[in-house]
Each structure stands twice: as C-alpha cells, then as structure tokens.
Amino acid sequence: MVFLRRDPSDHSGRCPLGNSVHVPSAGPIPAPAPVSLGSPLCFDPGGTTKSKGDLVFFPPPPVSREVGKRKIDQEGRVFQEKWERAYFFVEEQSIPTCLICKQSMSVSKEYNLRRHYQTNHSKHYDQYTEHMRDQKLRELKRGLRRYLLGSPEAGATEQKQVLPSAGRLDSATEQPAEDVAGSLWEKLREKLRSFVAYSLAIDEITDINNTTQLAIFIRGVDAGFDVSEELLDTVPLTGTKSANEIFSRVEKSLKKFNIDWSKLVSVASTGTPAMVDANSGLVTKLKSKVATLCKGSDLKSIRCIIHPESVCAQKLKMDHVMDVVVDSVNWVCSRGLNHGEFTTLLYELDSQYGSLLYHTGIKWLSRGLVLKRFFESLEEIDSFMSSRGKPVPQLSSKDWIRDLAFLVDVTMHLNTLNVSLQGHSQVVTQMYDLLRAFLAKLCLWETHLARNNLAHFPTLKSVARHQGDGLNYVPRIAELKTEFQKRLSDFECYESELRLFSAPFSTGIESVREELQLEVIDLQCNSALKAKYDEVGVPEFYRHLWSTYPRYRSHCARVLSMFGSTYVCEQLFSIMKLSKTKHCSQLKGSQWDPVLHVAS
C-alpha cells in the first residue's frame, strides 16, 4: 500500500504526483504501466484507491507467489549405511527410522539422526562394544518380522531388500508371504552351510483345529562365532504322535535342508516320554542316528530349564489356597455386574488396584501376579463377596491367609527366575548359572525358615504372629529344592565342559578332556588373551581366540550352539495362537508355514 500526503490548501483535486504515478518494481515483477489519475479524487477505475483526511491510499503492486521454495526431495540426500551402526537408524520406504523407538525423521540428514540418538539413546548404547553394537543392530532388525503380522512399522534394511514394500499385512497382495518366506529360507540355507556346530530345540502344541504342531528350531555358530537362531520347520503330527513319527519328521526336515548330522551337538525338549524315554524316545533315536553316522560323537540332551520351575511349583501342594483364589477371582471377574461393582468398590476405598487379574491355568507361574494382587485386595474381596451373599470362610482364616502369603512370596521368586531365563540367543552357561544361583537361594531360605527368619518372605512376615510360623514351611522349601536338583541332573555330566567355556582361565587342567589339555595350558599362560578375556568376557572373547587353538575353538563353538530351553518354540506357539484363530483356522499347513517363518 502506497501512502501519499495531500496539501490541504490544494483544492484542485489533483493527485500530489500529477496526472500519472509510476510505481516502483517489487522484486522480480516489472513496474506496472503508468496509471492515469484524471479523476479529481485520484480514484482508480476499480475503486481500490481510498482517501481519508489528508492521506490518499493507493493499492500495493501485485506480489508474485512464485517465490523460490526449498524442496527436500530434490536435495539428493542419500541414507548412508554407516548410520545404521552409528545411530541405530534404517531407511524404511525412503524415510530414516530409529530402530530403538521407531521414530521417523523427515530427511536423511546425519545431523538430525545424530541429535536424536544423542538426546534419547546414547546414555544406554554408547557403552556397547563394537561387537555388542553389531549384535544389537541385528536383533533390532529382526523386529521387521514381528511387524509383518499387523504393526505399521517395518524394521530392517537387511530385510527390506527381501520386503521392499512390506510394512503392513495389507501389502501381502503385492508380495505374498510365500515369496517373503522363500527369500528368507534361501538366506537360511546359506547360514546352514556356514555352521560349524548347531543344536535343535523341539516342542509340540495342539492348535485350534486340534492338530498337534511340531516346531523345530535350529541354533548354529559359524567360524566367526556369530550365533543364529532360526525356525527350521513346522510339521503337523496327524498320526499316533509317537517318538517314531516325531523322529521321522525331524529326519525329513534335516534332509530337506541338507544339514550335516556330524555337526549336531544337542537337542532341547520338554521332557515328555515321547521325547526323552530312555528306550524309545526321540532323543534316544537321535543319539543312535548320530552315533551310526559319526563315530565318537556324543549327542547331548537337555530338558527345557524353563519348564522345571512350573513343575517344581506344583510340588508345593498348595491347592487348598489356589482353588479358593481361582474360584473367587473368576466369580468376580466373569460376571459383568459383579466386576463393575467390585471395581467401583475398590475406587471408593482408594485401593491400590482398580481390578483383579484373571488366572490362567495354562502356565502355573501366571499365578504369581494374581496371588499378589489378591492378597493386597483381600479385605475388599471378603467384604464384597459377603455383601453379595457368597461369603468365603477361608478369607478370614489366619492359617489360610498365612499359607496364601507364603505362596505369594514363593511364586514371585519363581517368576523372577522365569523371566531371567527367557529371551533369544541366551548362552546355555548363563542360564545354568541362574539355576545354580536359585538352588543356592533355596538352601538359604530353608535354613532361614528353620530359624524363623522371614527376611526373604516379606508377605509372610507381614502376617506372621507367632515365633514358629516360619517353621511350618521348611518341608515345602525342602521339596522344592529336591525337585530342582532332579531337574538339573541333565547338566551334571556336562558341567566341566560348560565351566571350561565360561571360565577357561580358572578351570583345573585335570577336569579337562585329554585332547584339550595342552591347548588349555597354552591358553591359560597367554597374558594377552587373558587381558582380552578380562576386557570383553564371554562369549565375545571367542571372536578374538587365535586359530592356534583349533580344538578349543571347536569345543567353544559346540557349547555356544546349545539351546538351554525351548523358549523359542513357546514364542512361536504364542504367535500361532494369536494368528490361527477361529476366523482363519481353515488355512492349510503349507499356507501357515511362510507366515510363521516370517514372524519367528
């Protein structure tokens, strides 16, 4: 807008600039042609010029809207592969995405990625060694497989080469799961050829169609001590489900991938008769097969060391407590009106919890959190059920409440152990150490309870009223300890081999096999390797082990390949239960195999 001051004494009605005005140019726009101001009030023909008092207002010249604009997509920024390791970012559909928190950046600019990493994640990940960063990167990239079952993100550049457009399950029309799994199977075949040692984990479960599914996982180690855990095969068992049928299925699966039997180290199973029967179980047949093909080979058998806690917990024989808890919880939670009224009651009483947890009978250890919340809401539950005409006498019995408190403490201890044993790529020696530590704790608790020391049983301590309350539970802990010792017997014959792997510099030479003794002596006297062992620990140390120790390297690769449990199988079955519902239960086994392989 142009402002011109008019002389008040001038009554001619002329514009102060005369009959024409030249408006200066604005930016790249050329100056407009002169505008005639023949009108005495200097109005333009369109009526856009206005006057007020002694000012005449002229409209501003038109401004160009075609101003140069920075376009990010034309800057040619390219995502660099080194940023994956440095900042845990991958490029997903041309968008840099953080593997840790799944946050996306608008542009592939190192400054933005570095700032995000340093602000949010450097505190936790800067302390990682090079190998640990590489291992963590591979673990995060494997997250893509889980997202294929419905998550909106994809997770890995490595997998993106196989799945260029796979982010949601909806995109299956563009690239079927069969094609995806086929590409992954080809990569698996390449890995299998590089293994110097491998082990199997085998488990079975019944799906929604009442069909027993056999899952076979493989864990292998290559010459560089890189560990891989992969789903090898899933097989429906439609026959007698005997050891012969299971063995036949396993044999066919190994043959399908052309896997060398001589490199098989161990088999992890659930401990059912079909698996571990001394005369005709699967493990016995596998041992016979390996011994026939490879003389001198000794196939190791490991019963899942996650399941023993469940079995041991059942040995406590506390059904008189659990039955009451389960009945009460189900009565409150299974009826909508009861559950709503009970939730309101807890809110009015300012209770710590807003509701109760359902109890699931599939896993015994799921009782831990149910028992804890039940105990802490005991008064509210007793009051509510009495007011609804369903009183429970046990809820006011001091002896029963004391048993409940003891069971709460024990199951919480078992839950802590169970969580520690779970997870991918755990080394069997670490899991064995956790179990040995728990067995030592059981011995300590037995001694403490005999002295009526309730330091490690806080819930029981809160309700104990008499000096000898702890003595009543000594037999329970003793039974639990005995059962644990039985379940760990599988490892007793392997303990010296496991110790040689986890503590090579402190192992006595007399406990080492003769063919390894000379190499172990050389190793223990090598100060450079001892310093590296102290620096990086196990299993990273074995990446730096020189080739001058071929037999010891082979021993360590075999131990590193061992499964400590069938946890990977249980994870797969969880995926199967979530995916193979009543709405899609008619898919054939051949159609489910690719989905399960991608998701595992």
Q: How confident is the model at residue 550 (pLDDT cuts 50, 70, 90)?
A: very high
pLDDT given for residue 176 in this prediction: 52
The values of phi and psi at residue 490, to 5°, are -60, -30
Give the CA distances from residue 428 to residues 300, 504, 539, in Å, rounded to whole numbers and listed in that order: 13, 16, 11
Shared domain for 96 and 5, answered yes or no, is no
Give yes or no for a contact between 323 and 297, defined as CB atoms under 8 angstroms apart: no
Number of domains in the chain: 6
| Number of other residues whose CB lies within 10 A of the CB of residue 12 | 7
CA end-to-end distance (rounded Å), the chain: 68
As a whole-number percent, the residues of the chain with pLDDT over 90 amount to 24
The answer to whether the predicted template modeling score (pTM) of the entire model surpasses 0.75 is no
Of 66, 91, 109, the one marking the end of a domain is 66
Residue 113 lies in a domain: yes
Using the Cα atoms of residue 334, residue 338, residue 344 and residue 350 in order, give the sign of their dihedral: negative
DSSP string, 374-434: HHHTHHHHHHHHHHTT---GGGG-HHHHHHHHHHHHHHHHHHHHHHHH-STT--HHHHHHH
pLDDT given for residue 458 in this prediction: 95
* Chain position carrying tokens 């003595």: 471
Is residue 548 scored above 80 in pLDDT?
A: yes
User: Which domain range does residue 126 map to?
Assistant: 79-173
Q: Which amino acid is at 344?
A: T
Residue 142: exposed, middle, or buried by beta-carbon count in 10 A (0-12, 13-18, 19+)? Answer: middle
Residue 8, C-beta contacts closer than 8 angstroms, at least 6 positions apart: 54
Residue 301 lies in a domain: no
DSSP string, 416-479: HHHHHH-STT--HHHHHHHHHHHHHHHHHHHHHHHTT--TT-HHHHHH--STTTGGGGHHHHHH
pLDDT in tens, 204-230: 877 666 677 888 999 999 999 999 988
Give yes or no for a contact between 44 and 30, defined as CB atoms under 8 angstroms apart: no
Shared domain for 284 and 208, answered yes or no, is yes
pLDDT given for residue 575 in this prediction: 66
> What are the respective helix, strand and coil percentages of the chain, to the nearest 5?
50, 10, 35
Is residue 74 scored above 50 in pLDDT?
A: no
The listed range with the strongest mean pLDDT (79-83, 95-99, 147-151, 456-460) is: 456-460
Residue 303 lies in a domain: no
pLDDT given for residue 123 in this prediction: 74
| 504 preceded by a cis bond (ω within 30 of 0) | no
pLDDT given for residue 251 in this prediction: 92
Shared domain for 504 and 423, answered yes or no, is no
Shared domain for 85 and 165, answered yes or no, is yes
Shared domain for 287 and 217, answered yes or no, is yes
Shared domain for 58 and 85, answered yes or no, is no
pLDDT in tens, 520-543: 999 999 999 999 999 999 889 999
